[in-house]
């Protein structure tokens, strides 16, 4: 009987306690760095913070990461490079998972949108 209640608590507890994912709108990409083994780190500024990343150590700092060796990662890299070259802004949503690359934690990307304005 105790095991059943414990299992229900674990399932409901994970549904009730969402991960805090970062989200930035109208973000100007400042730079992209690709590290071995194909991990990209991106930083941006002048965006409207919808929600701050749960792993950010710098207040109001947009720091995200993704794997450029996957088909989706290659598409995101293309969007980021287009943003850098054209000066267009992006909307980035993180997935709440933090990875440490160097001295700063970066949140993994869930979605990137290239904005037309």
pLDDT, tens digit (0-9, with 9 covering 90-100), for 24-52? 999 999 999 998 789 999 999 888 888 87
Whether residue 8 lies inside any domain: the answer is: no
Check pLDDT > 60 for residue 3.
no
Domain range for 88 is 19-114
Whether residue 14 lies inside any domain: the answer is: no
DSSP string spanning 22-76? -EEEEEEEEEEEEETTTEEEEEEES-EEEE--TT-SSTT-EEEEEETTSHHHHHH
pTM of the full structure: 0.77
* DSSP class of 17: S
What does the alpha-carbon distance between residue 96 and residue 22 come to, in Å, rounded to a whole number?
Answer: 7
Mean pLDDT for 58-68 is 83
Whether residue 13 lies inside any domain: the answer is: no
Q: Give the per-residue pLDDT at 55.
A: 75
Which CATH number belongs to the domain containing residue 55 in this structure? Answer: 2.40.50.110
Kindly report, residue by residue over 68-105, the tens digit of the pLDDT.
Answer: 999 999 999 999 999 999 999 999 999 999 888 767 78
How many domains is the chain built from?
Answer: 1
């Amino acid at each position: 009987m105790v095991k059943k209640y414990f299992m229900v608590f674990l399932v409901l507890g994970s549904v009730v306690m969402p991960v805090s994912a970062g989200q930035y709108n109208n973000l100007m990409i400042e730079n992209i760095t690709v590290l071995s083994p194909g991990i990209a780190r991106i930083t941006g500024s002048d965006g409207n913070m919808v929600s701050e990343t749960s792993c950010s150590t710098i207040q109001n700092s947009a720091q995200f990461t993704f794997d450029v060796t996957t088909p989706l990662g290659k598409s995101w890299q293309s969007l980021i490079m287009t943003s850098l070259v054209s000066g267009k802004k992006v909307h980035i949503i993180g997935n709440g998972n933090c990875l440490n690359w160097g001295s700063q934690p970066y949140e993994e990307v869930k979605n990137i949108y290239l904005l037309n304005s």
